[in-house]
Homo-oligomer: A and B are copies of this chain.
């Protein structure tokens, strides 16, 4: 594994981060131009708020945990300023998409922009010492939490009076955000919320009888006999498992950690393509056709998430199976996604592993999943050493270099 970890470190610092620093910063308006073709050319100047926030988080995290490089802090500052100037609507919510100069293009029902704004602000505050950024992060977290308690009816895709549904994405994102905030702020609300979200994920979405971690259940946690109710998103399931493992580690909760390992086992069993290798984008837990046309495509981010979850599981449990899977998934990812010619990873492969879309960045792909996974893996040797030296899982520090949002 040492060779893998070293390869990840090199790829992070000599390929992926330089790719983004070379092509993404917008010298004219600040923030990041992230719709990049294979060579790094800009094919759209629209600016996604998710990507702006995630880039701020990533560059701040590198600055906080790898090295205090001025160019990383400068990139983070530019993105953070752009968000603050342009991403807020008058109702306090954040937009989803902006023009290059910051004009509002789209706002969505979901509060994910708020979640990414919270972690960006908290990590940037640590990097810059800007207390105002921390306050904005707390405010964004508050919006997210209020929205979780009182979801708007308008948010529902299906009419709640006919099909009341509970989406996995909400407790997952709140869990991830809470865990990340615990590393940067003292308020006990983050730990309380993380514990609550992990509990709710297991109570509602964790279905050993299928077995699967489902994307949508009825409001009481019952199965919905429709494609939406049978939907499994292997990337989501694996990142959720990783967040639950981190919460298990934080709270010293072994039953949480066993459940997270179940999720990993089920998801790899059902989501791994035995024919061509790689993880499917979507599967139907009942074995029926998926409505998602891209169901059998191999996307970059589920593979990055799988690597993080497997590393975390291997480290916490010592079970050899997770090391084997980490090697298998990494081997697939490293031999299919990186572009040796122009840098970074391709994002979208056909089922057979050939490149379906050569873009390096778009509405969903920015400097986030790939560098985050590479950072986590590149520090895995140190982490394991620290872990052993500290005497086990319950004394692990929170928010270290390998910490994940």
Return the contact of A362 from the options B103, B289, B296, B352 (Cβ within 8 A).
Answer: B289
Asked if B37 and A288 make an inter-chain contact with CB atoms under 8 angstroms apart, the answer reads yes
What is the CB-to-nearest-CB distance from A187 to chain B, in angstroms, rounded to a whole number?
A: 35
Return the contact of A46 from the options B226, B357, B358 (Cβ within 8 A).
Answer: B226
Residues of B within 8 A of A4 (CB): none
Report the nearest B residue to A103, measured CB to CB: B162
Instruction: Give the size category of A's interface with B.
Output: 35 or more
Return the contact of A291 from the options B37, B290, B295, B363 (Cβ within 8 A).
Answer: B363
Asked if A289 and B105 make an inter-chain contact with CB atoms under 8 angstroms apart, the answer reads no
Asked if A348 and B293 make an inter-chain contact with CB atoms under 8 angstroms apart, the answer reads yes
A350 to B295, CA, bound (A): 11
Asked if B227 and A99 make an inter-chain contact with CB atoms under 8 angstroms apart, the answer reads no
Asked if A35 and B227 make an inter-chain contact with CB atoms under 8 angstroms apart, the answer reads yes
Given the interface pairs A227-B35, A227-B43, A227-B44, the reply to whether A157 lies near B290 with Cβ below 8 Å is no
A56 to B363, CA, bound (A): 39
B interface footprint on A221-234 (CB within 8 Å = 1, 0 otherwise): 00001110000000
**Residue A297 lies at the interface, judged by CB distance under 8 Å to chain B:** yes
Beta-carbon contacts under 8 Å, A320-361 to B: 348, 350-352, 356-359
Residues of B within 8 A of A295 (CB): 356-357
Residue with the greatest number of chain B CB neighbours at <10 A, chosen from A288, A289, A356: A289
Asked if B44 and A226 make an inter-chain contact with CB atoms under 8 angstroms apart, the answer reads yes
Return the contact of A163 from the options B105, B348, B357 (Cβ within 8 A).
Answer: B105
Residues of B within 8 A of A203 (CB): none
Asked if A105 and B159 make an inter-chain contact with CB atoms under 8 angstroms apart, the answer reads yes
Report the nearest B residue to A229, measured CB to CB: B44
Asked if A289 and B227 make an inter-chain contact with CB atoms under 8 angstroms apart, the answer reads no
What is the CB-to-nearest-CB distance from A37 to chain B, in angstroms, rounded to a whole number?
A: 6
Asked if B44 and A357 make an inter-chain contact with CB atoms under 8 angstroms apart, the answer reads no
Report the nearest B residue to A294, measured CB to CB: B293
A30 to B43, CA, bound (A): 49
A106 to B226, CA, bound (A): 14
Residues of B within 8 A of A350 (CB): 350-351
Return the contact of A106 from the options B106, B158, B359 (Cβ within 8 A).
Answer: B158
Asked if A99 and B162 make an inter-chain contact with CB atoms under 8 angstroms apart, the answer reads yes
Residue with the greatest number of chain B CB neighbours at <10 A, chosen from A104, A162, A352: A162
Asked if A362 and B291 make an inter-chain contact with CB atoms under 8 angstroms apart, the answer reads yes
Asked if A106 and B293 make an inter-chain contact with CB atoms under 8 angstroms apart, the answer reads no
Asked if A43 and B288 make an inter-chain contact with CB atoms under 8 angstroms apart, the answer reads yes
Beta-carbon contacts under 8 Å, A276-325 to B: 284, 286, 288-291, 293-297
Residues of B within 8 A of A286 (CB): 43
A43 to B296, CA, bound (A): 18
A257 to B24, CA, bound (A): 46
Could you tell me which A residues sit within 8 Å of B by CB distance? Answer: 35, 37-38, 43-46, 97, 99, 103-107, 157-159, 162-163, 225-227, 284, 286, 288-291, 293-297, 348, 350-352, 356-359, 362-363
Known: A104-B162, A350-B350. 16 other contacts (CB 8 A): A37-B289, A38-B289, A43-B286, A43-B288, A43-B289, A44-B226, A45-B225, A105-B158, A106-B157, A106-B158, A289-B357, A289-B358, A289-B359, A293-B297, A295-B356, A351-B356
Provide a sorted-by-A list of 21 A–B residue pairs whose CB atoms are within 8 angstroms: A35-B227, A37-B288, A43-B227, A43-B288, A44-B227, A99-B163, A104-B159, A105-B158, A105-B162, A105-B163, A289-B359, A289-B362, A291-B363, A293-B293, A293-B297, A293-B348, A293-B356, A293-B357, A295-B356, A350-B350, A352-B352
